[in-house]
Amino acid sequence: MTALIVAASLLIGVSLGILGGGGSILTVPILVYLAGQDTKEAIATSLFVVGVTSLAALIPHARAHRVRWRTGLLFGAFSMAGAYAGGRVAEYIPGTVLLVAFALMMLATAYAMLRKPRNGKKKARPAHRDLPLKHIAVEGLVVGAVTGLVGSGGGFLVVPALAILGGLPMGIAVGTSLLVIAMKSFAGLAGHLSGVSIDWGIALTVTVAAVAGSLIGARLAGRIPQDALRKFFGWFVVVMGVFVLAQQLDSAVWTHPATWAVVGAAGAAAVAGWAVRRPRHRAVTARE
């Protein structure tokens, strides 16, 4: 089982190194279902693992000049405030509720990853330009609060916030997100430590493996097609999210007709959306 935990932990680091996110989405299920930790201990431990691993992955990105320091430090400062508050509030929320919220966030994140960007919607901000302070404050507080509540480092929230809302180039958004993730992960951990104890043996084992993976991932960054990797990881997150959700919800929920009515409606909407976009894609391809 230890070997399986170490192997899975390598994926945590590889994900952070390449995508600038995804660490906690993997870490919490690994700690709960492989290491046998309870939900709140796993969430607190994941914040430590992801915080240390993000710092390790940040180094090669910084050397490659893919970090916007002012934006990252300000975003991280606001996120730390939100993460600490979220960590304190999480102490009073049942573990099952936190895991369900975590699973739903995984599915929302997967949707954002798999959704095709709208070309020309927003131009990337020049490499030397920083984000406006008001944007940094609002986005940082919101993402930080999610981090503290459900133990997610928030990379898949930070990167879109920096790249889509902030207009930073994707490579810089990934590198900058690691600085933000590290800052708010430690802040969220501080909030959790008031009510949760950590098994430091498991925490350090997972962290060492994740750091090794992060160095590998950072070297691979830029060599792997990001769109293909994002789609693969997006579907992987879908599977993990459904698995966690299935483990937490009562069997009566899954056998209730209303549940399958919602699932069917969602599936029909997805197919309809794909069918509508498909002709447009073919038309664009034909023109090209």
Mean pLDDT of 120-138: 62
pTM above the 0.85 mark?
no
How confident is the model over 263-287, as pLDDT tens digits?
676 667 666 665 665 555 555 555 5
Percent of the chain with pLDDT over 90: 8
Q: How high is the pLDDT of residue 120?
A: 45
Q: In this predicted model, which residue has the larger pLDDT, 234 or 68?
A: 68
Q: How high is the pLDDT of residue 73?
A: 92
Q: In this predicted model, which residue has the larger pLDDT, 165 or 62?
A: 62
CB 68 within 8 A of CB 176: yes
Please measure the distance between the N-terminal and C-terminal CA atoms of the chain and give it in whole angstroms.
Answer: 52
d(CA 13, CA 215) in angstroms, rounded, equals 7
Considering only 138-142, 171-175, 224-228, which range has the smallest mean pLDDT?
A: 224-228
Mean pLDDT of 165-172: 76
Q: How high is the pLDDT of residue 146?
A: 77
Mean pLDDT of 166-181: 82
Please state, as a whole number, how many other Cβ atoms lie within 10 Å of the Cβ of residue 248. Answer: 18
Task: Give residues with Cβ within 8 angstroms of 172, minimum separation 6.
Answer: 66, 67, 68, 127, 162
Average pLDDT, the chain: 77
Q: How high is the pLDDT of residue 116?
A: 63
d(CA 159, CA 139) in angstroms, rounded, equals 11
Q: How high is the pLDDT of residue 275?
A: 66
Q: How high is the pLDDT of residue 269?
A: 66
